[in-house]
Amino acid sequence: MRIDVRAVRKGRGGQVLPATTLGFESGRATLARAETEQRPTVLGLIASGRMRPDAGTVTLDGRADARGIRRRVALVDAPEVSDPAPNVTVAGVAAEELMFAGIPSNPVSVSRWLGDLGLHHLARRPIATVDPLDRLRLLTELAILRDGVEALVIVSPDRHGGDPIAWWELAKRLADRGFAVLVIAGDASAAAIGAGAMLARMQADDDTDDPMPLAEGGFA
């Protein structure tokens, strides 16, 4: 599948979100750049079919299909939209999402599922106190359990701190599993990931690997 976001805007004169173009597709991780507190979430909502832009288009495999996009794209950790309440435990977050996915969500099932991910030791921890990479791994693995999900839009993982290259590697591993992954982050994180990718290419013996996919050949 492929989702194309073309020249979308939100707010008068693009104050909420200036004109933005990007695309993301199955089997690839794409990084889009968005600054300010509000813009990453607005872009995530639009790219996942959950908000209508004031201008521009969002298409699924070349067609306008907001319902299909909502069904097939999971919006992950968007502030005040899909992020878990900070005081809920990891086990509580897992139980709720397993229930929504139609999977048994009793304590035994939750414990087994967390154990399979190697996160059982975090079960009683409030989600706000969890290491950023573990948090993202937990939330993305829960998101893909829902029936029909083929893509992930991850919003502002950098707001929790941690190493941007670490969560970018996680995004690429999800893409390697066949998912379309869009990560929306700030300038500093994008620069760090870009520098890391450039260094890796310089050190590689084979320079034929594809570069990091960016929104529309660059950052959104």
Is 100 within a domain?
no
Is 61 within a domain?
yes
CATH of the domain at 23: 3.40.50.300
Mean pLDDT within 73-89? 96
DSSP readout, 107-167? HHHHHHHHHHHT-GGGTTSBGGGS-HHHHHHHHHHHHTTSTT--EEEEE-GGGG-S-HHHH
Is 157 within a domain?
yes
Is 27 within a domain?
yes
- Identify the pLDDT of residue 194: 82
Q: How many domains does the chain have?
A: 1
Is 136 within a domain?
no
Mean pLDDT within 36-63? 96
Mean pLDDT within 58-76? 96
- Identify the pLDDT of residue 14: 86
| 21-59 b/e (C-beta count within 10 Å ≥ 16 → b) | bbbbbeebbbbbbbeeebbbbbbbbbbbbbbebeebebb
Lookup result for tokens 């004031």: 54
Where does the pLDDT of residue 220 fall: very low under 50, low under 70, confident under 90, or very high at 90 and above?
very low
Structural domain harbouring 43: 2-83+151-163+170-217
CB atoms within 10 A of CB 194: 18
Is 90 within a domain?
no
- Identify the pLDDT of residue 217: 33
Where does the pLDDT of residue 218 fall: very low under 50, low under 70, confident under 90, or very high at 90 and above?
very low
